[in-house]
Amino acid sequence: MWSSPGVHLHHLKQSPPVNTVSPGGSGFTKSPASGWYPVIGGGYCGQAIFTYVNNVAPGNSGRWTFDLTKIHGNASYEVQAYIPSRNAGTKNAVYHINTASGSKTHAVNQYATTGWANLGTYSLTTGSAWVELNDDTGEAYAVDENHEIAFDSVKLTYVGPSPDTTVPTTTVSGTDTNWHKTAVTVTLTATDNAGGSGVKATYYTIDGTQHTYSAPFAVSAQGSHAVTYWSVDKAGNTEIAKTCTVKIDTTTPTTTVSGTDVNWHKTPVTVTLTASDAGGSGVKATYYTIDGTQHTYAAPFAISSQGSNTVTYWSVDNADNTEIAKSATVNIDTTGPVTAAKAAKGKAGHALKLSYQISDNLSPTATGVKLVVKNSDGKVVKTLACGTQSVTVWHTASWTPKAKGTYSYAVYAKDLAGNVQSTAGSAKIKVK
């Protein structure tokens, strides 16, 4: 490329994209079909129309619909309406502009305006960009030039990207309403609106202490924690903070037992289990076994089975922390001991040995053991208190008779549960 001496070539500045919609052309609709008149001289587009104003509900209306894909898509546009020099007598033509943030209005005094009237600059969205005008101006109906409202061309001129007035959105994952026995990892994901300025930063607090989010974080401290989170975009739009809860319980519950002891009992024993949880989630369930058979605890229960019964018990909280099982023993013996005696003989005035035995299937010892000696007339002549004795083995007690004759003695005892012997074992004593 060359130029003549003294002639300078310049790059031409490109005009901003413009889209014009006119009555009679694509994009313009009117309602109803009647009640319209051609503007004298045709106006800007050559097909401008007018109707008469009224002060009741809208009767006639026109809409200009724009295809933003032919201009610059979602963006900011200057909106202008052409006012013809004839048939435009209203002083209150209210244009309705549908914007990205809702419907906006702009009133034009058509009587005092000729040519392009600026309706303002707005952010418009593809698929919903339109301008509407109707005959409801608030002015009384009359058929004269001062009560005519004109519908001519409307044009959009691209100004630039739409300003970002939409707050970003932050979502949370990893949290729920449950209690947890291990740390919970919280992930925050922030997005800005399509065509927006983009997310600048995401923030969160744990129980009031603020942090800037950079990566998923763990909540591990015991207790119920409020996590509040929000984001800010590069246009300075700040999201309204949202809150979720993270609940951590790492402590096992504690179960105590009452009603049990190391003693033997001759009646059923009622066992009560009481569970508590210091970790905060609360007790979910308490379990117990009796000699290996498992049950879920609901209320105090009775143990009546004969023998030494092992009760194992534990609890689980709502975070699924499981207590280490503990055990207690319940000893039940409803059958008295059996006693036996051996025959004895000796001389009056000399000590002799009385042999006796106590048998019991459950109690290892017998209490209140005594031997009762009677003469041939059935009269008690001696009671020998022997205290507490072990069972199964044979024991001896010493007695010195004062006179010759035939005697008898019986053995009495109680087991550790307090059951007395069912039958007292007895034997004869011959004294010479």
Q: Note the pLDDT tens digit of each residue in 362-400.
A: 999 999 999 999 999 999 999 999 999 999 999 999 999
Beta partners for residue 346, in sequence order: 431
pLDDT per position as a tens digit, 219-251: 999 999 999 999 999 999 999 999 999 999 999
| pLDDT value of residue 188 | 98
Residue 112: phi and psi, rounded to 5, are -100, 5
Structure tokens at 299: 């209320």
What pLDDT is stored for residue 16 in this prediction?
74
Q: How far is CA 243 from CA 124, 127, 175, 203, 238, in A?
A: 33, 35, 11, 12, 15
pLDDT value at residue 57? 72
Write the DSSP string, 156-185: EEEEESPP--PPPEEEEES--SSEESS-EE
Q: What is the CATH number of domain 254-332?
A: 2.60.40.10
Task: Locate the domains of the chain by residue range.
Answer: 18-160, 169-248, 254-332, 338-431
Task: Answer yes or no: is pLDDT of 96 > 80.
Answer: yes
Identity of residue 383:
T
> Considering the entire predicted model, what is its pTM?
0.66
pLDDT value for 162:
84
Q: Which DSSP state fits 279?
A: T
| CATH annotation of 169-248 | 2.60.40.10
pLDDT digits (tens, 9 = 90+) for 314-344: 999 999 999 999 999 999 999 999 999 999 9
Q: Do domains 18-160 and 254-332 have the same CATH topology?
A: no
**Record: fold of 18-160:** Jelly Rolls (2.60.120)
CA distance 399 to 346: 10
| Average pLDDT of span 163-170 | 91
Dist CA 156 CA 119 (whole Å): 10
Extended strands (E) in 222-325: 223-233, 242-248, 254-258, 264-265, 269-276, 283-290, 293-296, 301-303, 307-317
Fold of 338-431: Immunoglobulin-like (2.60.40)
pLDDT tens sequence across 141-152? 999 999 999 999
State the chain's mean pLDDT as an integer: 94
